[in-house]
Amino acid sequence: MTSYSREALATRFVDSTLARDRCEWCRSPWRNLYRGRLCRSCYDKRTRLKQAERFISKLGSDGEPIPQLAHLEVRALRHAIANCKRSGKVLDGVLAPGSSALDLEHDLDWLSRRICHKKLFYGLATQLGWIFGPEHIRFLRCLIRKMIDTDTSRRRMERARSDAILGGATE
Write out the residues near Zn ion by the rule CB under 5 A. 23, 25-26, 39, 42
CA-CA distance, 69 to 103, in Å (whole number)? 40
Residue closer to Zn ion by CB (options 112, 152) is: 152
Cα(128)–Cα(130) distance, integer angstroms = 5
* Contact (CB, 8 A) for 34 and 111: no
For the CB of residue 48, give the shortest distance to Zn ion in the complex, in Å: 14
Residue spans of alpha helices (H) in the chain:
6-18, 40-61, 68-95, 101-116, 125-131, 134-166
Residue whose CB is less far from Zn ion, 14 or 80: 80
Helical residues (DSSP H) of 25-67, grouped into ranges? 40-61
Q: How far is the CB of 41 from Zn ion (least distance, A)?
A: 6
- Closest separation between CB of residue 103 and Zn ion, Å? 23
Give the nearest residue (CB) to Zn ion: 23
Residues whose CB falls within 8 Å of the CB of residue 8, separated by 6 or more in sequence, listed in order: 135
Minimum distance of Zn ion from residue 27's CB (angstroms): 7
Shortest distance, position 149 Cβ to Zn ion, whole Å: 10
Nearer to Zn ion, 39 or 148 (CB): 39
Q: Which is nearer to Zn ion, 39 or 91 (CB)?
A: 39
> Which of 26, 104 has the CB closer to Zn ion?
26
Cα four-point dihedral sign 72, 77, 80, 82: negative
